[in-house]
Structure 1
Amino acid sequence: MRAPVVENNRCNCAALRKASRRLSQLYDAALASSGLKATQFAILAEIERRQEAAPTMRDLADALVMDQSTIGQNLRPLERDGLIALVLDKADRRRRHVTLTKHGRSRFAAARPLWETAQTRFESHFGKQEAANLRAALSTIAEAPMDPGPSWFSPRHESPR
């Protein structure tokens, strides 16, 4: 039987931010030789995933759970370095689609094995199934609506009373 967990800090947000910083350090260190940060790699991965239909800046911001000004700030260095291109929508010139350039695809491909190394290192330390469970729980949080009302989480979770 396990002893009860003693929590020094019950703040979910603080715990998540600490864990996020620790994981960012792991992935940033692994990706360092590629010249990409973990955040930049995640952005390039999302663009690559959507290569058949280039996402708009809004689509990308929504997929990465960022506001549009933050995604804009994160895209500027990638555009400056020639990794992405912002292409005006032919039907609506107010919208810009984000595409990987040839250089961006090459840099992403070179960084992928480095990301795999970080992924393997984390999963070997934390456990593959535990990592999968963690991703599932975090996805539930990330996909929750912005208004954290009583139905914020899926029905399997009880809302606080």
Structure 2
Amino acid sequence: MSNPIEIPFSTTLLVRDTCLCLHVQRAARALARRFDTALKPVGLTNGQFSLMMSLNRPEPPPMGPVAALLAMDQTTLTAALKPLERRGWVSIIPNPKDRRGRLLSLTAEGKAVLAAAVPIWEKTHAEVEAKLPDGGANMLRLDLMALA
């Protein structure tokens, strides 16, 4: 019978107090809940808001660049698009330049929902930024971009 490996509790405390991944995940979950709650009256989650905002472009983008912007694979993007397409907020059409690819765009109804969501996002975002010390929001953005 082998002796079980014991990890000292001090290691648990070290990880709890210093792990960047843990702290980013906790903050992301808290922010996601806050924005989910705020955007609920217009029928969006924070992820759907970000996805729809990424489609708000002069020309319909292909899936690849949208997936890259949102740091997700195309399979995950396809799954995220389905409920928005069912609600009539997003249109997915074959790319005329490459029939294997798809172009993504907001429908008129999708633009209206997104337009209703923007003031909610602005207010919630301002509240979040106000909780950070002076210049903290810009510094946090720069730090997160360096990690992404």
Give the TM-score normalised by the residue count of structure 2. 0.86
Give the letter for the 1:10 counterpart.
Answer: T
Mapped partners of 1:138, 1:37: distance in 2: 22
Give the letter for the 1:97 counterpart.
Answer: L
* 1:55 matched to 2:70: no
Structure 2 match to 1:146: none
Quote the offset at 1:128 in angstroms: 5.5
Structure 2 match to 1:14: 22
- Structure 1's unaligned 5+ residue stretches are 1-5, 143-161
Mapped partners of 2:30, 2:133: distance in 1: 16
Structure 1 match to 2:93: 87
Quote the offset at 1:123 in angstroms: 1.0
Query: Is residue 84–residue 100 contact of structure 1 (8 Å, CA) maintained in 2?
Result: yes
Structure 2 match to 1:148: none
Structure 2 match to 1:45: 53
**Percent identity for Structure 1 against Structure 2:** 33
* Matching of residues 1-161 of structure 1 within 5 Å: 8-48=16-56, 51-127=57-133, 129-142=135-148
Secondary structure in structure 2 of the residue aligned to 1:86: strand
Mapped partners of 1:85, 1:39: distance in 2: 17
Mapped partners of 2:60, 2:146: distance in 1: 25
Q: Aligned-residue CA RMSD in angstroms?
A: 1.5
Question: Which deviates the most, 120-129 or 68-77?
Answer: 120-129
Give the TM-score normalised by the residue count of structure 1. 0.79
Secondary structure in structure 2 of the residue aligned to 1:126: coil
Mapped partners of 1:116, 1:20: distance in 2: 18
Max Rg structure: 2
Moved over 4 A (4+): none
Mapped partners of 1:80, 1:129: distance in 2: 41
